[in-house]
Structure 1
Amino acid sequence: MDLAHLGHLELLTPRFDDSLRFFVDVMGMTVSGEAPGAAYLRAFDDYERYSLKLTASDTSGVRHFAFRTRSPQALERRAAALTAAGHGVGWTEGDLGHGRTFLCHDPDGHAIELYHETEWYDPPAPLKPALKNQAQRFPARGVNVRRLDHLNCLAVDIRANRLFFENCLGLRTTEQIILDSGVEAGMWVTCTNKSYDVAYTREAHGVGGRFHHLTYALDSREEILRAADIFLEAGVHIETGPHKHAVQQTFFLYVYEPGGNRVELANAGARLVLAPDWKPIVWTEAERRRGQAWGLQTIASFHTHGTPPLPEGTLP
C-alpha cells in the first residue's frame, strides 16, 4: 500500500481549443495552470493543483497517468521494485505542481508516473470556498465534476498487467472477468478503500498502449441524470447511459470529448472495500454476456472504441 491514490493523467487531443472548452464549460473544470500547447485542469474538490493535463497533439489518447505515493520512502521503494522487475524507465524532475518523479511502463506499454512531493491547491480569492474543508468554491458551471475518480486502460494481456499492479505497485484486485478459456479479460484494482482506482479491459485488436476512458465523480445519481440534459443542450454525443454497471455497481454515463477520448461520469457514493482480506469477485463469460445490471444493452462501440485510433490497416 505504498501508493496513496490516482493523482492525474495527461490527455492528448488533436482539437485542443474545443477539448479545453468542453472540460471548462461543459464539465465545469477550472484551469489552474498553462504551458505552451497545454492546460492544467482541476475538479472543484481535487486537493492537488490539477488532476488533468490537456495537451495538444496530432492524435488522441493518454500520454501518462500518475499516482501519488504515501511518503518519500514509499516512492523510493516502488522505484526500486519497478527497476528490479525491469519496468523502470528512470527519474525526472516532475511537472507543474509536483516534484521528483519516477517513470515506468506497464507490460502493455502505458506510461505511469509515481511522485510524492505535490502542490496543494490554494484558490485565489474569487474561488475560495465558504467551507474551509472544501478545496475550491463550487463552480456552478456545466456538470460541476467533483474529483477525479478512476481511469480505464485497454491491454492486450490483462493477466500480465494485473500481476504488475499487484506485485510492482502493491494494489489490490477487487474484481475480475475470466473467460471460459481461462483468459483474463478485465481487472479492477485499488490502492484506497474505493472499490477501484484503475481498470484494465482486454484490447479487442491486439494493439498495445491504448486507452478506454477517464472518469470524474459526481455526488449522486440525480446529478448524472442532470448531466445528460447538460450534454444534450451542449450538443455533446452521449455514447451510452445513464445505466448501472454490474461490475462495481457504478451508475454511469459515457460521452466523447471533442478530441475523441471517452469520458465517464460516475456517482461518488459508489462501493467501498473496507475488508483487509477482500477476495476478488470473479465474473464469468456468461455473466458478462448479460450486459449491464440494468438499462439498455451495452453498445457495440464500448467494446471497440479506444484512443489513439487504431493503426491504418488494423481490422476493426
Structure 2
Amino acid sequence: MEGFDVVQLAHAEIYTPNPEGTLWFFKELLGLEETAREGQSVYLRAYEDFYHHTLKITEAREPGLGHIAWRTASREALERRVRALEQSGLGLGWAEGDLGHGPAYRFTTPDGHPMELLFEVEYYEAPPEKRSKLKNRPSKRPLRGVPVRRIDHVNCLCSDVTPSRRFLEEVLGFRLREQKVRGGGEEIGAWLSVSPLVHEIGLMRDATGARGRFHHVAFWYGYPQHLMDLADLCAEYDVPIEAGPGKHGTTQAYFMYVFEPGGTRVELFGDTGYLIFDPTWKTVVWDVTNVNDLEKSTIWFGGRLPETFYTYGVPSASWERALGQRG
C-alpha cells in the first residue's frame, strides 16, 4: 500500500430533528461560522478550519450520522484508495460532489457507517470584515460563545470493532495508535489516525450490540480552560453535559461530552492529547480486565463516565437515505 494516501478528516454530516436548536448550539455556543445553505442543509466551519465547511447539518426526522468524509493527498492517491475499496467489496461508487468539494467516492465500513473519499476541496475565503490579521488563520476568532478552533475527530460505535479497525488499516492506511482489549483478547476499542494526531477516528464496541451507530463528533480548543468556560455556559443555557470536564488516560485528552439539541453527542477537546512522530510507533494496549487499566484508560481524572456513554448512539443513514435528505 502507498503510504499517506488518506491524510485528513475533511468533514462530517449529522442529522437533526431540531435544526433551529442545533444551529444555535453550533453557531452561538461553539462559534462556528455558516458558509452556505442548500435545501435542508447548512454548512459550517470553525475559525481555524481552512475548507468551505467541516460540519454539515441536515434536517431529518431523527438524529443520525449522514456521512464522514476523508481527504486524500492527491488525485492519484484517491484513485489508489478507490481501487482498494472496490476490491474490498464495500465501495458504493462515485458522486459528483457537494458544496465545497469535488467528486467523492462513497463506501461504508464493515459495520455500516457511511463514508466518502475526496481530494478536490474549496478553500474558505473570508470577507474583509472577517479576515484575520494572522496570515496563517483563515478568519477572525468569533465573538460568540466559546469558539472552537477546528474539527478534531469522529467516533463510531461498532457491533464488532475488529473488522472495521482492520478495514481502516488495510484498505485506507490508518495506523492503530491505542487499543482496548479484554478477556481472551476481545477488542472493545481502537483509536486510529493518518497523521501525528493520536486519533482522527475512534471505534468503540456498542454495548447494545447494534450495528453502525455514531458516538460523537469532536471539536478542538487547544486550552483546557475553555472547557470550564463552556461548562459554565452549558449550565446557564440548559445544554446537557454527559461527562466532564475531565481527562482520559487513552489519548491523554482533556474532554467534555455534551448533547446538542438535536440529540447528537459532541465532544469538546481541551487540548491535543499527545502527538505521535515515531514512524515505528507500537500500539498502546489497555487490558480492561486489569482494574488499573480499566479505570485509568477511561478516566485519568474527573469522576466516572455514565452508562449512557456506552449505550447511547445515533443511527447511521444509508447512502440512499443521505441522498434523499439532500434532495
TM range, normalised to the smaller chain? over 0.9
Which of 268, 280, 289 aligns to 2:294? It is 289
Alignment of 1:96-245 (within 5 A): 96-245=99-248
Contact 1:31 1:41 in 2 (8 A): yes
Q: Tell me if structure 2 keeps the 8 A contact 1:26–1:234.
A: no
Letter in 2 for 1:297: R
Query: For residue 265 of structure 1, what is the aligned residue in structure 2?
Result: 268
How far is the alpha carbon of 1:166 from its aligned partner? 0.4
Unmatched segments (≥5 aa) in structure 2? 317-327
CA root-mean-square deviation: 1.1
| Maintained 8 Å contact 1:2/1:169 | yes
In structure 2, relative to structure 1, the CA distance for the partners of 1:308 and 1:24 (3 Å cut) is: same
* d(CA) in 2 for partners of 1:213, 1:238: 13
Does the CA-based 8 Å contact 1:60-1:308 persist in structure 2? yes
Q: 1:8 to 1:253 in 2, by over 3 A?
A: same
Counterpart in 2 of 1:312?
Answer: none
**Residues 180-221 of structure 1, C-alpha deviations (whole Å, 9 max, x = no match):** 132100000001111110000001122111010110000211
Normalization by structure 2: what TM-score?
0.92
Deviation at 1:288, TM superposition (A): 4.6
**8 Å Cα contact 1:252/1:265 also seen in 2:** yes
Among 53, 58, 66, the alignment partner of 1:50 is 53
The structure 1 residue matched to 2:309, chosen from 302, 310, 313, is 302
Cα-to-partner distance string for 1:230-266 (whole Å, 9 max, x where unaligned)? 2122221111100000101100011000111000101
The answer to whether the 8 Å contact 2:254/2:271 transfers is no
2-side partners of 1:265 and 1:288: how far apart?
Answer: 24
Separation in structure 1 between the aligned mates of residue 222 and residue 88 of structure 2, nearest angstrom: 39
Query: Counterpart amino acid of 1:289?
Result: L
Q: Whole-Å Cα distance in 2 between the matches of residues 82 and 132 of structure 1? A: 38
Q: TM (normalized to structure 1)?
A: 0.96
Q: Which of these residues, 214, 232, 254, is aligned with residue 251 of structure 1?
A: 254
Note the alpha carbon deviations across 1:76-133, whole angstroms, 9 max, x for none: 0000001011111000111100001000111000011100000011011221111111
Distance in 2 of aligned mates of 1:112 and 1:137: 31
Structure 1 runs not aligned, ≥5 long:
310-316
The amino acid across from 1:51 in the alignment is T
Aligned to 2:15: 12
Shift in Å, 1:22: 1.0
For residue 27 of structure 1, the aligned residue among 30, 55, 68 is 30
> How far is 1:270 from its partner?
2.2
Q: Structure 2: how far apart are the matches of 1:72 and 1:268? A: 32
Instruction: Give the Cα separation in 2 of the matches to 1:129 and 1:257.
Output: 29
